Amino acid sequence: MSSLAVDGLISGLNTTDLINNLMALEAAPQRLLKSKSSAASGLVSALQALNTKVASLASAAKSTSDAKSWDLHKVSSSSTVVTATANAGAVPSSLTFAVDRLANGQVSLVSAADTAALAVEPAPAITVVRGGRMVTITPAKGSYADITAAINAAKDAGLSAVAVPVGTDGSFRLQLSGVSGAGNAFDVYIGDEAAVKAGTAKHIVNSADDPAAAGTTTITKAQDAQLTLWKGTGAEATFTSTSNTFTDVLPGVSFTLNEKPADPVTLTVKDDTDAVTNMVAGLINNATVVLSEITSRTASTTKMGADGREIIAGGILSGNSAVRTLSGSVRSAISAPVNGRSPSEVGIDIDRTGALKFNKEKFATALADDPEATQAMVTALAKRVADAAKAASDPIEGALSLQITSQEDVVKDLNKRIEDWDRRLEVRRTGLERTYSALEVALSKLQSQSSWLAGQLASLPRMSSD
């Protein structure tokens, strides 16, 4: 920080401007360092932007070169109430089935008397028996809000509860709902686990709808969803599911029964050529993005100099050997023949301007005519692109990654040197301010001495010439 300076009161010099001009000359090396740091930072940003796009290309190419990525299928349903999804392992096929029933969760309504028996202080224990397991719940208080909150919070019990006001006498009935599936039917007792085992607990909900649980109303019984294949034939087979989603009927296909269809449902699995085409299009698009980025960053610009002549400046990445190698490698990987066949046969081409082109219709036709050969060509091409992209963007050994690391080190070094110059210039400014301040003091003393001498001389007696 510079000290407070007052322009020369004695000398009349504009010392502030004088010091600033001297400091501007002194700071010339620092300005050069700042210019270099800015250029290096710009290069780092350009390399990072390109490297990000190359990494995306590497990912797309690696996926396209994997045979599993080509195992894409789509499934259609003859019924609007049955939705299906094709997953890994699906194969072209068709299957028809009849839906016998949907999966339900048990819904039971506790009697008003038993509901009231729960709403006392201290709150009694509630034990739920589901799937052979007992879960005991103890509400904090005997209010209906606390009872339902405790049941809903007991995840192991697998129930949801709501207290419904009935009649005009302020009475409530507790409705309990379980998860779907016959194996999730539940019984409920007033009492802890020991009382249930001893047979002394009050049985208020019976999964079997047994009259022993007096006053209990079963709204819905717990049951599995069921469907039948080849119904009415000797090969008839049934499948069940605890939910309305089936995953083990058709290989690689899951489907959900949203409602019970009136008629048999047919699921048809086909190769998803649209998805495969889009995957390959994505690869070409990623390559186009990389090449466009290189073109943009290496393009020359023209501007007028101070003398009126045109000055041509190269792009920030022009002359960069790693970038030039990457561009050539990607173009070669995409355009070079595969086993004597040109990629243009499957719709992948480079036009006269050097731009990549992908003809979806031509690719789809090639895929339909010879799927194995088309897949083999594109996966080989994608493997070459993946190798080229990895050689540039690999975090450890990639040419771009190494350049980024190197340039970041350059920026750090330049910034450190700039900081050193900040301290050096601060010391220099302080020294100049002290020097000129001392000059003013010295001039002030000389002025005082001059004034004193002038006064002394003026006081001397004058010699008469007579």
Q: Read off the pLDDT of residues 83-114 as tens digits, 9 standing for 90 and up.
A: 999 998 899 999 999 999 999 999 999 999 99
Nearest-angstrom CA–CA distance, 178 and 258 = 19
- Would you give the distance in Å from CA 91 to the centre of its chain? 31
Query: Percent of the chain scored above 90 by pLDDT?
Result: 71
Residue with tokens 């600033």: 20
Instruction: Give the H/E segment covering residue 368.
Output: helix 360-369
Q: Read off the pLDDT of residues 434-460 as tens digits, 9 standing for 90 and up.
A: 887 777 777 777 777 777 777 777 777
pLDDT value, residue 1 = 46
Once rounded to an integer, what is the mean pLDDT over residues 382-392?
Answer: 96
Once rounded to an integer, what is the mean pLDDT over residues 234-240?
Answer: 95
Nearest-angstrom CA–CA distance, 290 and 54 = 6
pLDDT value, residue 122 = 94
- Is residue 325 within 8 A of residue 388, CB to CB? The reply is no
Supply the pTM of this predicted model. 0.69
Say whether 29 sits in a helix, a strand or coil: helix
Q: Are strands 245-250 and 253-257 parallel, antiparallel or unpaired?
A: antiparallel
- Is residue 200 within 8 A of residue 173, CB to CB? The reply is no
Q: Which residue has the higher pLDDT, 300 or 156?
A: 156
Q: Provide the angle, in degrees to the nearest 10, between the axes of the packed helices 321-335 and 371-393.
A: 180
Nearest-angstrom CA–CA distance, 136 and 63 = 51
Q: Read off the pLDDT of residues 389-440 as tens digits, 9 standing for 90 and up.
A: 999 999 999 999 999 999 999 999 999 999 999 899 999 888 888 887 777 7
Nearest-angstrom CA–CA distance, 346 and 325 = 26
Which residue, among 436, 432, 441, has the nearest Cα to 2 in the 3D structure? Answer: 432
Residue 276 makes CB contacts below 8 A (sequence gap 6+) with: 70, 72, 367
Which residue, among 334, 345, 330, has the nearest Cα to 380 in the 3D structure? Answer: 334
Instruction: Give the H/E segment covering residue 150.
Output: helix 144-153
* pLDDT band of 10, cuts 50, 70, 90: low
Within 10 angstroms of residue 466's Cβ, the number of other Cβ atoms is: 3
- Would you give the distance in Å from CA 186 to the centre of its chain? 42
pLDDT value, residue 465 = 58
Which residue, among 209, 218, 223, 204, has the nearest Cα to 128 in the 3D structure? Answer: 204
Which residue, among 278, 389, 284, has the nearest Cα to 52 in the 3D structure? Answer: 389
Q: Which residue has the higher pLDDT, 10 or 283?
A: 283
